[in-house]
Amino acid sequence: MNLDDAVRTFLHEARDLLENMEAALLACHESPPDEETVNGLFRAAHTIKGSAGLFCLDDIVTFTHAVEGVLDGVRSNKIDLDVGLVGLLLSCADHIRSQVDAVEAGSPPEGGALQETREHLIDELRKYCGPSSGPTLAPVGFFDDDPLPVVASPARSAAERDAWHISLRFGRDVFRHGKDPLSFLRHLRELGTITALETLPDAIPDEDRMDPQSCYLGFEVAFHGHVDKEALEHVFELPGDDCQLRILPPQSRVEDFVALIKQLPEEPLRLGEILARCGLVTSQEIEAALTAQRAGPTSGPPPRIGDILVEQGSIQPAAVEAALVKQQQVRTAKAQETRSVRVDADKLDELINLVGELITATAGTKMAARRTRMTELLDSATSLSNLVEAVRDSALQLRMVKIGSTFTRFQRLVHDVSRELGKDIRLMISGEDAELDKTVVERIGDPLTHLVRNAMDHGIEPREIRLARGKPERATVHLNAYHDSGSIVIEVSDDGGGLPRARIYEKAVERGLIEPGKELTDDELCRLIFEPGFSTASMVTNLSGRGVGMDVVKRNITALRGTVAIASTEEVGTTVTVRLPLTLAIINGFLVGVGEATFVVPMEAVEECVEFAPEPWQPYLDLRGQALPCIRLREIFAVRGQGSSRQSVVIVRVGTERVGLVVDGLLGEAQMVIKPLGKLFQHLRWISGSSILGTGEVALILDVPALIHRERSAATPEEARQYLERDCARTPRPALAE
Amino acid sequence: MSSPGETTNQSSTVILAGEMTIHRVSELRQTLIAALETSRVLEVELSRVSELDTAGAQLLMFVRRTAERKAKQVRLLSPSQAVFEVWELLNLTRTLAPELRVGPVRGESTR
């Protein structure tokens, strides 16, 4: 582990913490925050500050310190966590995130705009602090005013490692001389922060010999403050001979602690444990150092402890070491919470690629085995291929992530947009445990955002109308997810006004999408809003500027091989249902044969199959009176040989556009693993990938949208209509030249 | 003043009040150890303690340890603000009163 890795872990961790913070803040809207929530907020800010300090990210430290100060006020009931403050803290979380992003991008920490925002936010925060807690936001000495360490606080800041270590052993008579160690500790606290303190009762004797007026105590103190050694010695000057004082400066090395242990009266291992509790050194380090020294060669001078540590490579720059400890703590905590491992997505992709190769190789083996006609070999090849398929399934499973985190992100959007629109809207989430492929999750964000915004913007009525309709004042947007026959269904529903049918109809007529007076089913009407250019802005409100319409949503979802449907009841609400494949790595394909070759048509695109083909010279098929453009796969892919006498047409559809694919044979449905095309073939049009059949042959997956696009650019609907008219007049025509 | 409360063979309660400092630790030690002799479980009520110094804190640690050696139990209950503050500073709350869930008893710290 090097420093870069440590920084990366910090970035990861900081983002996680910010997400938690955001979730906690948004939860404050739902119910008044309990103690645990506030503590969680405080801890998150505190941990970010600590880790940032470790990497000398002073801007983040300054800012999170201010946030922490306010949160501390909230924690101690000095500041009320009202709606305004929640909003402000959300902005603060955003700002920290952009600071973290800046660190990742490696840009100079002092971007002008960033600094402006920061100062503005700090000013706002200061207002909440009020004059009484002024020092909380003192511009210097960021750690000076940290609250006393809460005993149970699990999040000990890594910056606390950067502290003085003070070891105190008081003389027996210190009480009798009228001095109280407590007063020295209180004095010390005025100079800075006691980040950790351990009281050592070990020297208290057994019952009879114990004199309650004698002092038997010792203290190990970790102290953070901008002081020098002299100032610290000064604090303990008063007890003088009644106190044995040992001070280790910040960033002391392990051997210094070991030396300290040797000077102190207590048992070394016990002391090591106590020092570890002060957080400046780990017990393993001390233990290892002590054991190594003890086990050293008996002849000759014993090796110096420092040498041993260097040999073992256990001495590292303090910062990196602190990072390691911190990570370990974080990891243990995480492991207990979720039992999950963070894996680089690229590694997963590589694994899945390899598994794909494995499947191909297995298919080949199986074919070879079949040729040998050796039963034994065939059996083992079959079980091998079963196993490989199981491996494939679980490898694909690895890429599955829960949709919950995507959903939770919308809490923030709903919070912000409802504020912006002046509507009272809450987001309900269910089915967050439904899993789907990581790549799908990543790409579903934008369309979902649009749908949720749409629901809030156009779906939910203004307050007065809601009240007039007898609906609760507070509107609800509901995100739901569930699995349904090999795909995941995501529903975005609202209890708003529903789609205004009359207006959609009007608009559609106006735009020439439908003939005036044509009867439309509800379904058809709803589908109209997915038409390009059917502006949402003109439908209900004047709020526009989205830049994308529902057609874009639809296109995005189609690109993920998904479908979108809408159901709406006027005055009751709207539900948009998005159906997506669980993974992009497997395709539900329809196999078609052309000559020797096999092609795969994505099942979602297939509308119907017709066992009838147009005459060779006809570029259009008369499908129940409608002109359907046809593509002969044999022609465009230059497959050799003559077409069979019984050709079929597979009608595929993307959006509203349809095209017929003329093929030799229909071979049926199959699930197959998509293999991306190699570099050499990437320029190929109309092919989106390949797959290996059970026979070991390669099948090409057709890129249906591209095929339809080809057809559209080849002929306009006007030409088609003219053609059909002529065709109906039975005028023989030569085959269309390519 | 300290006053042994109702005493049974099983458990007894001692209510401590006033300052718990170097000036009184000898006397308090006798009271507490005596109470510990007669019971299996000793409860010490601290809500009326107005001041605690290091000697007082040390005494509490001593009593607790003595009880442990004798396989008895000492429970330190409802510490006053003054007591709690010292425990927190010396990081003793967990050692001395692991069963303590709530903070200090407010408003009764002076007497």
Residues of A in Cβ contact (< 8 Å) with B61:
199, 201, 204
A613 or A460, greater pLDDT = A460
With contact defined as beta carbons under 8 Å apart, do A659 and A708 qualify? yes
With contact defined as beta carbons under 8 Å apart, do B57 and B22 qualify? no
| CA A675 remoteness from chain centre | 26
Chain B, 79-108: which have a CB under 8 Å from a chain A CB?
86, 88-95
**Binary contact (A152, B29; C-beta < 8 A):** no
Which residues lie closer than 8 Å to B99 by C-beta, 6 or more apart?
B75
B63-70 own/partner pairs: CB under 8 Å, 24+ apart: B63/B29, B63/B32, B63/B33, B63/B36, B64/B95, B64/B96, B65/A201, B65/A204, B66/A207, B66/B33, B66/B36, B67/B36, B67/B42, B69/A206, B69/A207, B70/B36
- pLDDT of A480 higher than 90: yes
CA dihedral A613, A618, A620, A621 (to 10 degrees): -30
Q: What is the pLDDT of residue A353?
A: 79
With contact defined as beta carbons under 8 Å apart, do A47 and A157 qualify? yes
With contact defined as beta carbons under 8 Å apart, do B38 and B12 qualify? yes
Q: What is the pLDDT of residue A718?
A: 56
Token readout for A111 is 């971007």
| Mean pLDDT lowest among A151-165, A340-354, A534-548 | A534-548
In angstroms, the CA A73 to CA A66 distance is 11
In angstroms, the CA A102 to CA A108 distance is 7
**Binary contact (B54, A212; C-beta < 8 A):** no
In angstroms, the CA A640 to CA A128 distance is 79
The CA–CA distances, whole Å, from A13 to A7, A48, A50, A114, A416 equal 10, 8, 12, 21, 25
In angstroms, the CA A281 to CA A275 distance is 7
Nearest residue of A to residue B26, measured between CA atoms: A212
- pLDDT of B102 higher than 80: no
| Mean pLDDT lowest among A86-95, A724-733, B24-33 | A724-733
For A568, phi and psi rounded to 5 degrees? Answer: -150, 140
For A546, phi and psi rounded to 5 degrees? Answer: -65, -35
Token readout for A248 is 């280790």
Give the up-direction half-sphere exposure of residue A645: CA atoms within 13 A in the CB hemisphere. Answer: 0
In angstroms, the CA B111 to CA B98 distance is 26
The string of DSSP letters for A545-598 reads -----HHHHHHHHHHTT-EEEEEEETTTEEEEEEEEES-SSEEEEEEEEETTEE
Residues of B in Cβ contact (< 8 Å) with A204:
58, 61-62, 65
Q: What is the pLDDT of residue A146?
A: 38
Q: Assess A185–B contact: CB distance below 8 Å, yes or no.
A: yes
Q: Residue A92: enclosing H or E segment and its boundaries?
A: helix A83-105
With contact defined as beta carbons under 8 Å apart, do A165 and A280 qualify? yes
| pLDDT grade for A141, boundaries at 50, 70 and 90 | very low
What is the complex's ipTM, to 2 decimals?
0.83
The CA–CA distances, whole Å, from A360 to A199, A350, A378, A701 equal 67, 15, 16, 16
| Mean pLDDT lowest among A54-68, A276-290, B72-86 | A276-290
- Number of Cβ atoms within 10 Å of the Cβ of A729: 7
A676 or A104, greater pLDDT = A104
In angstroms, the CA A95 to CA A120 distance is 11
| pLDDT grade for A478, boundaries at 50, 70 and 90 | very high
Instruction: Give me the helices (H) in A625-732, please.
Output: 633-636, 704-714, 717-728
Kindly tell me the number of DSSP H helices and DSSP E strands found in chain B: 4, 4
A645 or A197, greater pLDDT = A197
**Binary contact (B90, A197; C-beta < 8 A):** yes
- pLDDT of A265 higher than 90: no
In angstroms, the CA A576 to CA A536 distance is 15
| Mean pLDDT lowest among A286-300, A417-431, A675-689 | A286-300
Q: What is the pLDDT of residue A244?
A: 81
**Binary contact (B25, A212; C-beta < 8 A):** yes
Residues of A in Cβ contact (< 8 Å) with B53:
180, 182
Q: Assess A208–B contact: CB distance below 8 Å, yes or no.
A: no
Which residues lie closer than 8 Å to A174 by C-beta, 6 or more apart?
A180, A181, A215, A239, A242, A243
Mutate which: B58, B61, B102, vs A, most A CBs within 10 A: B58
Percent residues over pLDDT 70 in chain A:
75
Q: What is the pLDDT of residue A325?
A: 55
- pLDDT of A156 higher than 60: no
Encoded amino acid at B71, one letter: A
Q: What is the pLDDT of residue A268?
A: 67
- pLDDT of A319 higher than 70: no
In angstroms, the CA A728 to CA A701 distance is 35
Q: Residue A113: enclosing H or E segment and its boundaries?
A: helix A112-129
B99 or A546, greater pLDDT = B99
- Beta-sheet pairing, A606-610 with A648-654: antiparallel
| pLDDT grade for A311, boundaries at 50, 70 and 90 | very low
Taking each helix axis from N to C end, the angle separating A438-454 and A550-559, rounded to the nearest 10 degrees, works out to 170
Q: What is the pLDDT of residue A479?
A: 92
pLDDT in tens, A491-524: 999 888 888 777 778 777 877 777 777 777 777 7
Residues of A in Cβ contact (< 8 Å) with B26:
212-213
A274 or A480, greater pLDDT = A480
pLDDT in tens, A222-254: 888 777 777 788 788 777 777 888 888 777 767
Secondary structure class of A331 (helix, strand, coil): helix
Which residues lie closer than 8 Å to A133 by C-beta, 6 or more apart?
A69, A73, A78, A79
Q: Assess B53–A contact: CB distance below 8 Å, yes or no.
A: yes
Taking each helix axis from N to C end, the angle separating A35-54 and A318-338, rounded to the nearest 10 degrees, works out to 150
Q: What is the pLDDT of residue A402?
A: 85
Q: Assess A196–B contact: CB distance below 8 Å, yes or no.
A: yes
Instruction: Give the largest Cα separation in chain A, rounded.
Output: 124
Q: What is the pLDDT of residue B108?
A: 41
Give the up-direction half-sphere exposure of residue A436: CA atoms within 13 A in the CB hemisphere. Answer: 32
Sign of CA dihedral A458, A463, A467, A473: positive
Token readout for A190 is 């005025």
With contact defined as beta carbons under 8 Å apart, do A15 and A97 qualify? yes
**Secondary structure string (H, E, C) spanning B25-43:** HHHHHHHHHHHHHCCCEEE
With contact defined as beta carbons under 8 Å apart, do B78 and B53 qualify? no
Residues of B in Cβ contact (< 8 Å) with A76:
none
Token readout for A369 is 């085995």
Secondary structure class of A191 (helix, strand, coil): helix
In angstroms, the CA A499 to CA A264 distance is 79
Encoded amino acid at A390, one letter: A
Q: Assess B68–A contact: CB distance below 8 Å, yes or no.
A: no
Secondary structure class of A672 (helix, strand, coil): strand
In angstroms, the CA A142 to CA A221 distance is 19
Kindly tell me the number of DSSP H helices and DSSP E strands found in chain A: 23, 21
Q: What is the pLDDT of residue A711?
A: 66
A166 or B5, greater pLDDT = A166
How far apart are the CA of B55 and the nearest CA of chain A, in angstroms? 7
Exposure letters A373-404 (e unless 16+ CB within 10 A, then b): eeeebeeebeebbeebeeebeebbeebbbebe
In angstroms, the CA B47 to CA B61 distance is 18
pLDDT in tens, A9-24: 778 888 888 888 888 8
| pTM of the entire predicted model | 0.46
Give the up-direction half-sphere exposure of residue A80: CA atoms within 13 A in the CB hemisphere. Answer: 3
The overall average pLDDT reported for chain A is 75
For B51, phi and psi rounded to 5 degrees? Answer: -150, 140
Block residue for tokens 């006397």: B27
Token readout for A725 is 């008219």
| Mean pLDDT lowest among A515-524, A709-718, B46-55 | A709-718
Residues of B in Cβ contact (< 8 Å) with A194:
89
